[in-house]
Amino acid sequence: MTGTFALVRLALRRDRLLLPVWIMVITGAIAGTASAIGELYPGMEQRLALGVTIGSTPALQALTGPVFDATSVGGLTAWRATTLATALAGLMSIMVVTRHTRAEEETGRAELIGACAVGRHAIPAAAVIVAGGANLLIALLLTVALTGQGLPGSGALASGLAVGGTGWVFTGIAVVAAQVTEHARTANGLAISVLGLAYLLRASGDAAGVETLSWLSPLGWAQGVRAFAGERWWVVGPLALTGLILVGLAALLARRRDVGTGLLPPRLGPSDAAPNLASALALAWRLQRGGLLGWMIGFAIGGAMLGSLAQSVGDIVNDNPQLAAILERIGGAGALVDTFLAAVMGLLGLAVGGFAVQATLRLQGEEAGVRAEPVLAAAVPRWRWTLSHLVIALGGTAIVITAGGLTAGLAHGVRTGEVGEQVIRLLGAAWVQVPAAWVSAGIAMLLFGLLPRLTALAWAALVAFALLGQLGELLQLDDWIRSLSPFAHLPQAPGGEVSATPLLWLTAIAMALALAGVAAFQRRDLAGN
Amino acid sequence: MSGNPAILISGLTKTFGRVRALDGLDLTVEAGEVHGFLGPNGAGKTTTLRILLGLLRAGSGHAELLGGHPWRDAVELHRRLAYVPGDVVLWPTLSGGEAIDLLGRLRGGLDQRRKKALLELFDLDPTKKGRAYSKGNRQKVALVAALASDVELLLLDEPTAGLDPLMEAAFRECVTEERGNGRTVLLSSHILSEVEALCDRVTIVRDGRAVESGTLAQLRHLTRSSITAELDRIPDGLAELAGVHELAISGSRVRFEVEADRLGGALRLLTDAGVRGLTCQPPTLEELFLRHYQSAS
Ligand SMILES: Nc1ncnc2c1ncn2[C@@H]1O[C@H](COP(=O)(O)OP(=O)(O)O)[C@@H](O)[C@H]1O
Ligand SMILES: [Mg+2]
């Protein structure tokens, strides 16, 4: 462990911008939600009315979790913001840990450090300390911010511990993933898949009212702390302990492998390339096909799980004649199911935006890794190299979300007994999301062409779009601010009226951004090492 | 080997922010020659090569490659040349053999028979994947890909930095063979002996500027001979003689260094003083080279 302290300082220096932004966004999301709810629902009756609506809408519970106490501002805040904030804290922890462990090994910098007077666990230990510290800070800041808004101190503390604790669990998951995989990309992918699965488990459990399912997910534990609703402090235990156990597991695994390698020995490859590995596009496909397949599988699973929930949303309403009568006025249970499905599609759309950005920024990874240089030093025009990855990013976006729409349609169709019809409806609803995800890819491409050092802003933009979509209405942000997100312009589908105009506009904007990025790359210097 | 030079650079500049990497560089590489591009670390060798490859935009000055413009005509030019970077990075998921084939094909084709022969010569296992190779073996992958392509010009950036002596010998063999086939080679290096063994002409670069350029014989001419003589008497005016350096006198014995074109004058002075014994060490490039390196630091 010698040298850990120096490595922590190095990591903090490298993350001096990124980490504070993450922390501010996560605490800001919850604190902002609390103040908005305090303003919008000042009276007990208003809050109770909201609580009844939520309670009677399993769709909302699937997406955000159940309300445990609708009488207080804190209870409603915990309901609305916990899932979002815990997911973001998990994402932050994964990114930070991978960046300072596996990514470092991959560039060989870790070897440089490892050769200095640094203990063999120093690198993962430093990453865990940085990520763990960030989560601790989030917990602290949340407690202070929520108490500062006049909410009960114990609830504020519970809220902070729930969010920070979930981040800590994912710190552990990420550091284990960094030990078992060989590349930063796969380590990130593995840990984010676990996060996605955790979300799906919790969503299924909460929507279907099967609490055991929710308890399988760390995101469910965060809810289980019940901040502002008779805190259950003991639930903080599993959060803290799981993180600790995972970190210990990573330390055990680290002892069993060499620097730069994963646990699995590298396999040998063919001594000659297949005949079709002969173009920039073939290379891009070869590099990206594994990731694409992973995303497709994830979407297929997610689509199936969420799709199979939709009908339960309707069933619960149908079981309750009073509620059904109320809902009849707004279109009945069928409309409720569609609202749920539309919200699911919106989530899939945001997630596929993640694929679009990641696949586009592969260009940046190739350039920074000096693997673009030999390709561009061969007879490959720059535009062909950029377009080859861009084509995969844009085409892959459509393919990935198709997988989600297809399985959602199948699962929902099987339950309603109209497979063909539902598959077509939900495929259409999935495709509606594509242009907005393309805009995210366009932003990434433009940044790569113009400001390659700032490509992380493409991720920041996507997170901002997610926050605008999830909290914009609640926070009563001005329309023009909310309309900054391309996802805000998508028609509601299924169940809404789909007009082509916004979709065509978004597609045009995405293409313009992407082509501007391609053009900018045509005339700039290639980064060396 | 007539006609236009393969590479013609004059007054080339390139700045990165405040760093001036190239500061009016001149370089001419004739077609068919093996040209050594010699200079200490940070002299601007890699920057020059990356400008020639159209990976970097030139600041001011003129750069011409195989009669074309390095930036505008990049793609057509790249079909006719092959490049071996100083620090080779391979794709982690591709085997070495796949990378060789891919790079060759992206350049416009690869001679499979030659690839096999080169793999054998360099003793390289093509079935390993990217990161399983050591630095030297990654370099061999890039070398095989470049040498197995049918191109007019080879741009090699410190290609032997990671190779062991045996492989270095194999590399020299290859370059000699390439010259025999009429190919032009620009070999960047910071190791004098390598350049001395392989190159027809040499350009020494320092701080982004060419400080010497010429054939090895011409460069040697620039260097000093070192002379030790036993004399009857110590002649007057030896210390003042132009071109004489580091004179040391002990009894009847003198030691000094003298520039090549002043050798005659110095010897005349010695013979007039009665020579009883004389040793003259021929000039080495080493000395010239170190002189430039030292003033660089
Ligand atoms: N992308 C870059 N950004 C900033 N400085 C650079 C960059 N590339 C090269 N340099 C600087 O330019 C100078 C020449 O570097 P280089 O051409 O790599 O030298 P050599 O290959 O001869 O060792 C060095 O001082 C180096 O630090
Ligand atoms: Mg160099």
Contact of A427 with A406, CB cutoff 8 Å: yes
Q: Are residues A306 and A245 in the same domain?
A: no
**Res A528 pLDDT > 50:** yes
B153 CA → ligand 2 middle, Å? 19
Q: CA–CA separation, A60 vs A74, rounded Å?
A: 18
Q: Are residues A212 and A87 in the same domain?
A: yes
Q: CA–CA separation, A449 vs A522, rounded Å?
A: 8
Residue B25's domain is classified under what CATH number? 3.40.50.300
The atom of ligand 1 lying closest to the CA of B14 is 12
Choose the final residue of a domain: A258, A292, A324: A258
Token pair 């809050």 in the structure block, residue = A47
Choose the final residue of a domain: B151, B185, B204: B151
Q: Are residues A202 and A300 in the same domain?
A: no
Q: Are residues A247 and A300 in the same domain?
A: no
Parallel/antiparallel/unpaired status of strands B224-231 and B253-259? antiparallel
Range A321-344 average pLDDT: 70
What is the amino acid identity at position B14?
K
Contact yes or no for A271 and B83 at CB 8 A? no
Q: Are residues A249 and A330 in the same domain?
A: no
**Does residue B116 lie in a domain region?**
yes
**Does residue B289 lie in a domain region?**
yes
Query: Using one digit for the tens of pLDDT, what is the confidence trace for A334-359?
Result: 677 888 888 889 999 999 999 999 99
**3-class DSSP string for chain B:** CCCCCCEEEEEEEEEECCEEEEEEEEEEECCCCEEEEECCCCCCHHHHHHHHCCCCCCCCCEEEECCECCCCCHHHHHCCEEEECCCCCCCCCCEHHHHHHHHHHHHCCCCHHHHHHHHHHCCCCCCCEHHHCCHHHHHHHHHHHHHCCCCCEEEEECCCCCCCHHHHHHHHHHHHHHHHCCCEEEEEECCHHHHHHHCCEEEEEECCEEEEEEEHHHHHHCCEEEEEEEECCCCCCCCCCCCEEEEEEECCEEEEEEEHHHHHHHHHHHHHCCEEEEEEECCCHHHHHHHHHHHHC
Question: For residue B148, which residues of chain A lie inside 8 Å, CB to CB?
Answer: none
**Does residue B218 lie in a domain region?**
no
Q: Are residues B64 and B202 in the same domain?
A: yes
Number of domains chain A is built from? 2
Q: Are residues B240 and B137 in the same domain?
A: no
**Does residue A139 lie in a domain region?**
yes
**Does residue B262 lie in a domain region?**
yes
Task: Report pLDDT for A413.
Answer: 94
Q: Are residues B109 and B244 in the same domain?
A: no
Query: Using one digit for the tens of pLDDT, what is the confidence trace for A151-191?
Result: 999 999 999 999 999 999 999 999 999 888 877 788 888 99
Q: Are residues A296 and A236 in the same domain?
A: no
Q: Are residues B201 and B274 in the same domain?
A: no
- Going by alpha carbons, the residue nearest to atom 16 of ligand 1 is B44
pTM for this model (two decimals): 0.86
Question: For residue A525, which residues of chain B lie inside 8 Å, CB to CB?
Answer: 55-57
**Res A57 pLDDT > 60:** yes
**Mutational pocket test of ligand 1: of B20, B47, B51, the residue with most ligand atoms within 8 Å of the beta carbon:** B47
Q: CA–CA separation, B282 vs B22, rounded Å?
A: 34
Contact yes or no for B97 and A272 at CB 8 A? yes
pLDDT band at A497 (very low <50, low <70, confident <90, very high): confident
Residues with CB under 6 A from ligand 1: A 528; B 16, 19, 21, 39, 41-47
Task: Report pLDDT for A116.
Answer: 59
**Does residue A254 lie in a domain region?**
yes
Q: Are residues A123 and A38 in the same domain?
A: yes
Q: Are residues A156 and A296 in the same domain?
A: no
Token pair 């993450």 in the structure block, residue = A22
Searching chain A, which residue's CA lies closest to the CA of residue B132? A266
Q: CA–CA separation, A375 vs B180, rounded Å?
A: 28
Q: CA–CA separation, A216 vs A92, rounded Å?
A: 21
Q: Are residues A18 and A147 in the same domain?
A: yes
**Does residue A388 lie in a domain region?**
yes
**Does residue A336 lie in a domain region?**
yes
Question: For residue A273, which residues of chain B lie inside 8 Å, CB to CB?
Answer: 94, 97-102, 105
Judge residue A518's burial from the number of C-beta atoms within 10 Å of its C-beta, 0-12 exposed, 13-18 middle, 19 or more buried.
buried
Q: Are residues B94 and B230 in the same domain?
A: no
**Does residue A267 lie in a domain region?**
no
Contact of A231 with A149, CB cutoff 8 Å: no
**Number of C-beta neighbours around residue A510 at 10 A:** 25
Q: Are residues B71 and B1 in the same domain?
A: yes
Task: Report pLDDT for A266.
Answer: 67
**Number of C-beta neighbours around residue A211 at 10 A:** 12
Q: Are residues B143 and B161 in the same domain?
A: no
Contact yes or no for B75 and A380 at CB 8 A? yes
Mean pLDDT in consecutive groups of 10 residues from the start of chain B, 297 residues? 82 94 96 93 94 95 95 95 93 94 93 95 93 89 94 94 90 92 93 86 92 84 81 85 85 86 86 88 70 63
Residues of chain B contacting A, Cβ within 8 Å? 46, 50, 53-57, 74-76, 78-79, 83, 85, 87-103, 105-108, 112, 126-129, 131-132, 142
Q: Are residues B261 and B209 in the same domain?
A: no
Distance from CA of B123 to the nearest CA of A (A): 14
Q: Are residues A237 and A292 in the same domain?
A: no
B47 CA → ligand 1 middle, Å? 6
Task: Report pLDDT for B1.
Answer: 42
The range of the structural domain enclosing residue A166 comes to 1-258
**Does residue B172 lie in a domain region?**
no
Q: What is the mean pLDDT of chain A?
A: 88
Q: Are residues B57 and B156 in the same domain?
A: yes
Q: What are the strands of the beta sheet with B19-29, ordered from one edge?
A: B19-29, B7-16, B62-65
Contact yes or no for A370 and B89 at CB 8 A? yes
Q: Are residues A247 and A329 in the same domain?
A: no
Task: Report pLDDT for B264.
Answer: 87
**Does residue A476 lie in a domain region?**
yes
- Going by alpha carbons, the residue nearest to atom 26 of ligand 1 is B42
**Mutational pocket test of ligand 1: of B15, B19, B157, B204, the residue with most ligand atoms within 8 Å of the beta carbon:** B19
**Does residue B261 lie in a domain region?**
yes
Among A355, A362, A343, A215, smallest CA distance to A298 is for A355
Residue B259's domain is classified under what CATH number? 3.30.70
**Res A331 pLDDT > 60:** no
**Does residue B21 lie in a domain region?**
yes
The range of the structural domain enclosing residue B146 comes to 88-151
**Res A117 pLDDT > 60:** no
**Res A459 pLDDT > 70:** yes
Q: Are residues B18 and B64 in the same domain?
A: yes
Choose the final residue of a domain: A229, A258, A287: A258
Q: Are residues B119 and B259 in the same domain?
A: no
**Does residue B156 lie in a domain region?**
yes
Q: Are residues A519 and A455 in the same domain?
A: yes
Task: Report pLDDT for A295.
Answer: 94
Nearest CB neighbour to A528, from listed B50, B76, B83: B50
Distances from the Cα of A35 to the Cαs of A39, A149, A476, B32, B48, in angstroms?
6, 7, 11, 76, 59
Q: CA–CA separation, B99 vs B132, rounded Å?
A: 13
Indicate which ligand has the atom closest to the C-alpha of B86.
2
Number of domains chain B is built from? 3
Q: Are residues B59 and B160 in the same domain?
A: yes
Distance from CA of B142 to the nearest CA of A (A): 9
The token pair at A415 is: 């339950």
**Containing H/E element for A487?**
none
